[in-house]
Amino acid sequence: MNEGALLRLYRAALLVLIGSALTIAGAFYFELVLGYAPCKLCLTERIPYYAAMPLALLTLTVPERAGRLLLGLAALGLLYGAGLSVYHAGAEWGFWAGPSDCGAGTGPNPSSVGDFLNTLQTTRVVDCSTAAWRLLGVSLAGWNAVIAAVLASIAGTAAARS
């Protein structure tokens, strides 16, 4: 077992773990503290991070060969997440249509017709093709594409090295 290769693998796993955790923490901050309701695609874009965190954590506990496989799986998931984020950002820019079923509202679930009518007054519809926030002209979906691609690159490079 090459200790240098194992150390690089562990460093990559830690970067993927920390990067994924910070990305999810940022998403929750925007949602819970700043009040930005996520759309369907936003929620789906979180799934690769949810998968990458335990894979990266497991990488720290298994032999090098198994760790490389786990980080490779994390890289594939994060690459999928980057692609999904590019699709989302493209829909926000109007390059192509977003999903037709994206536009669910946020608010309490009504239990009666009267509650339903009251809920209609406070429900916010979240559309996947509208960017709620931008930094330097790039939406959250765009930044997510960059982050997921970087983490996928880190995980994939570490997994591919022998």
Does residue 127 or residue 156 have the better pLDDT? 156
Does residue 19 or residue 129 have the better pLDDT? 19
Tokens of 23: 């990305």
pTM: 0.80
Quick one: which of 128, 140, 126, 1 has its CA closest to 62? 1
String of b and e for 87-100 (b: at least 16 CB within 10 Å)? bbbbbbeeeeebee
Going from N- to C-terminal start, the domains of the chain cover 3-160
Would you say the C-alpha torsion 138, 139, 140, 142 has a positive or negative sign? negative
List phi, psi (to 5°) of 139. -80, 175
pLDDT digits over 84-117, tens only?
999 989 888 878 877 777 765 455 555 666 666 6
Quick one: which of 43, 65, 59 has its CA closest to 140? 43
Contacts of 3 (CB under 8 A, 6+ apart): none
DSSP string, 48-74: HHHHHHHHHHHHTTS-HHHHHHHHHHH
Q: What does the pLDDT read at residue 105? A: 47
Q: Mean pLDDT score of the chain, rounded to an integer?
A: 85
Q: What's the rounded mean pLDDT across residues 125-148?
A: 79
Q: What does the pLDDT read at residue 155? A: 96
* Residue 128: count of CB within 10 angstroms of its CB: 24
User: How far, rounded to the nearest angstrom, does the alpha carbon of residue 109 sit from its chain's CA centroid?
Assistant: 26
Q: What does the pLDDT read at residue 66? A: 92
Q: What does the pLDDT read at residue 102? A: 72
